[in-house]
Amino acid sequence: MGTLTVVATGPSTTVQDRGRPGWASLGVGRSGAADRWSHDAANRLVGNDVHAATLEVTLGGLVVRTDSALLVALTGAPVPWFVDGVRQGPGTAVVVTAGAEIRLDVAPTGLRAYLAVRGGIDVPRVLGSRATDALSGIGPPPLADGDVLGVGSEYGDEPATDLNPYQLPDRPLRVVPGPRADWFAPDALDHLLGTAWAVTPDSNRVGVRLTADEPLRRSRDDELPSEGMVPGALQVPPSGLPVLFLADHPVTGGYPVIAVVVAADVNLAAQARPGSTLRFTR
């Protein structure tokens, strides 16, 4: 079906799909696209099955070259992108010719963009998925300059639209208290909800590390047996500074979880870049 040659990867580009559910009992997390909504939207724009693999591009900087005519789309963070030097609109699908160069600049806001090609990115599946898991190392390695990626055949009918104008909203993330809110001081949940938490530079696909002037205070100092974790869990280590788990989170953890971000809003968390702030609401 064709290939894409990676000219430049930017800060970090990985292959992602909807992950590998069902392996947590063996210690393997789901992984997959950090912002699943944007991943799915890119696939729909080119007429793919939503499980087809895309390229998850952090901040921008990716440059690829095609060897055949392809239908491609870009969603997620509003990265300025160009085909042979001609700027393309955000949330659009375009036909590119053989030998075309697709270039992504740096996103002015947001963090992750998703480049889809009709047919999907064709790399070997591991445990049923093509996703790169940054924590376990399962799946294909992050892209490197010079990599050649095959284009698959995971497409359906021709897409009904070539434009997706929707942008992820900028609003507080909705949380459900618990399951270990009782391990914290009585005012800790109010503090979580009433504070603007800054995203630290050591955040990644495993989790968003947050900081504030006042950490969360615990009411219990004893150890908690390791428990199962889910995306969106706000786990609080002894520092009192929460970590919001994303797609490559560990399957278990021994620190108490004060609250969990609802699944739909984990997509918003995945677009939080270092230096930005997150707020939470019940």
Give yes or no for residue 141 having a pLDDT over 70: yes
Give yes or no for residue 200 having a pLDDT over 80: yes
Higher pLDDT, residue 154 or 173:
173
Cα separation, 14 vs 265, whole angstroms: 22
Q: Classify each residue of 237-264 as buried b or exposed e, where b means 16 or more C-beta atoms within 10 Å of its C-beta.
A: eeebbbbbbbbbbbbebebbbbbbbeee
Instruction: Say yes or no: 27 and 109 in one domain.
Output: yes
Cα separation, 133 vs 93, whole angstroms: 27
Instruction: Say yes or no: 275 and 229 in one domain.
Output: yes
**Residue 21: per-residue pLDDT:** 95
Instruction: Say yes or no: 144 and 275 in one domain.
Output: no
Q: For all residues of the chain together, what is the average pLDDT?
A: 95
Q: What is the DSSP string of 133-175?
A: -TTT--SSPPP-TT-EEEE---B-SPPS-SB-------SPEEE
Longest dimension (CA), the chain: 62
Instruction: Say yes or no: 179 and 146 in one domain.
Output: no
Single out the residue in 88, 118, 151 at which a domain terminates. 151
Range of the domain at 178: 173-281
Instruction: Say yes or no: 117 and 245 in one domain.
Output: no
Mean pLDDT for 32-55 is 96
Instruction: Say yes or no: 188 and 113 in one domain.
Output: no
**Residue 49: per-residue pLDDT:** 93
Instruction: Say yes or no: 108 and 216 in one domain.
Output: no
Neighbours of 25 (CB within 10 A): 8
Higher pLDDT, residue 164 or 1:
164
Give yes or no for residue 214 having a pLDDT over 90: yes
Structural domain count, the chain: 2
Higher pLDDT, residue 223 or 184:
184
Instruction: Say yes or no: 97 and 188 in one domain.
Output: no
In tens, the pLDDT along 144-163 reads 999 999 999 889 888 877 78
**Residue 134: per-residue pLDDT:** 94
Give me the numbers of helices (H) and strands (E) for the chain, helices first please: 3, 22
Establish if 69 belongs to a structural domain.
Answer: yes
- Structural tokens at position 18: 């909807």
Under 8 Å between Cβ of 196 and 226: no
Establish if 167 belongs to a structural domain.
Answer: no
Residue 16's pLDDT band (boundaries 50, 70, 90)?
very high
Mean pLDDT for 241-259 is 97
Give yes or no for residue 24 having a pLDDT over 80: yes
Instruction: Say yes or no: 16 and 145 in one domain.
Output: yes
Single out the residue in 151, 183, 205 at which a domain terminates. 151
Establish if 160 belongs to a structural domain.
Answer: no
Cα separation, 39 vs 32, whole angstroms: 9
Instruction: Say yes or no: 124 and 37 in one domain.
Output: yes
Instruction: Say yes or no: 273 and 186 in one domain.
Output: yes
Global confidence as pTM? 0.96
Beta-bridge mates of residue 113: 57, 76
In tens, the pLDDT along 58-116 reads 999 999 999 999 999 999 999 999 999 999 988 999 999 999 999 999 999 999 999 99
- Per DSSP, the three-state class of 281 is strand
- Structural tokens at position 91: 């949330």
**Residue 243: per-residue pLDDT:** 98
Establish if 158 belongs to a structural domain.
Answer: no
CA angle 125–264–197, rounded 5-degree value: 105
Mean pLDDT for 207-219 is 97
Single out the residue in 91, 116, 151 at which a domain terminates. 151
Whose CA is closest to 191, among 260, 240, 261?
A: 240
Beta-bridge mates of residue 66: 4
- What is the residue type of 252? T
Establish if 262 belongs to a structural domain.
Answer: yes
What DSSP designation does 22 have? T
Backbone angles phi, psi at 11, to 5 degrees: -55, -40
**Residue 167: per-residue pLDDT:** 72
Give yes or no for residue 166 having a pLDDT over 70: no
Give yes or no for residue 54 having a pLDDT over 90: yes
We report the CATH number of the domain holding residue 246 as 2.40.100.10
- Structural tokens at position 242: 């929460």
Instruction: Say yes or no: 14 and 146 in one domain.
Output: yes
